Structure 1
Amino acid sequence: MRGNLSAKDRLAVALDVTGRDAAMRMLDLVSDEVGVIKIGHRLAYSGGFGLIEELAKAGKQVFADLKLLDIDQTVAEGARSVAATGAAYLTVHAYPKAMHAAVEALGADPTMRLLGVTVLTSMDDEDLQEAGYAVPADQLVMTRALQAQQASMPGLICSALEASSLRAALGPNMLLVTPGIRFAGGEAGDQKRVVTPQKAIADGADILVMGRPITAADDPRAAARRAVEEIEAGLAERG
């Protein structure tokens, strides 16, 4: 599956806006330029949850970035509920029990792909230490990635900085989805582990998540086109 993605299908725009009206205004600008629409907590909890099903019925690939983590039954029921909306992707925190519960809930051949969140790209080694982890980010990411593979998760959320090492460790089939993507010279914002679109793809990432570099640009449509062009360059570099 991952090798058949077009350049456009490798770009997910993060609709990190408040309310349905703001989301629809942004979609009018960029929906024809991107392959995946990501809906996270901010939009989902401000009246946008219904957009997941609405956009899916309209033929859009929707990425429900809800980061499930709870007791096994709750995760399983949540995964089934989101799958019923027609979402193409759903995030689950990469804890072994949560991942196993979600995978088992969806069955052997799910249409929605689960993505295990390894370590947030807004966190670095110091943040992890403060949170009680005794290992650096790259080591924790690898541990959780291997656990995800053991749980039969189809994909991971990781920094593009880790894409090359994860691809080498996990093989060709694991879908690597990378936030923290910024254009060269752009502001990192609250992200700490960032990579350009071209380099992320060249290093083995499959789908790039971009929010503010597109949605806060003077011309969001042009920014999305620029991202797709860089993805095409990264694919050519990858060979």
Structure 2
Amino acid sequence: MKTAIALRHLHFEDLGTLEPLLTARRYAVRYLDAPTDDLYAVDMAAADLLVVLGGPIGAFDDHIYPFLRDELAVVLQWLASGRPLLGICLGAQLIARALGASVASMDVKEIGFAPLTLTQKGEGSPLAALGQTPVLHWHGDHFGIPDGATRLAGTQTCANQAFSKGRNVLALQCHLEANPRQIERWLVGHAYELVQAGIDLRALRSQAQALQSRLPQAARAVFTAWLDEIEALRPWEAS
């Protein structure tokens, strides 16, 4: 059995629709809570996949949240290993930082459901399975595209929504994993941020309800295509 490690920052921002796909492919899924767990006590070398999940802090906030230094070290080690790595929101920003790219405030919040605009390279990537399906956006920071990485998608508000590095690293600013059926956990967990940003909760809830079947289906297609790609790699071909 293979092992997938998920670095988590908030309990309700979990693997979502990705988790049952991993289980079906015989991955043993292990969550580590990045703020509190000892990341050095885990044998990362024995794992096959690392997923770094989202959270409401910044990728350069290690002066406020020192645990980010250990998390960044794990990401750097993983990148050096050539093994498959998926970053979502904060996770994608940490990958960008580890690869030397900028991560900064957009001075605006992008919160809600909207489709991605794919680049030409994105059209040839697993993201093509999304079509025009809206995905969940929930962030106020954005990343630059690292040197040697491939920009895959953007939105009108945020030009860089996804990039890949080699064939084994995928970074997503959007929350493709988020199950719209679980939107109430997000509305409660991020209540203060939503008020501060002036977001209409009823409209957000209505968007989620309209996508509760369509979005998980599209997300499964994307993740299935990516997992097919990474599982076809031999170790020496990973990068």
If the length of structure 1 is used for normalisation, what is the TM-score?
A: 0.35
The structure in which a higher percent of residues are helix is 1
The structure in which a higher percent of residues are strand is 2
If the length of structure 2 is used for normalisation, what is the TM-score?
A: 0.35
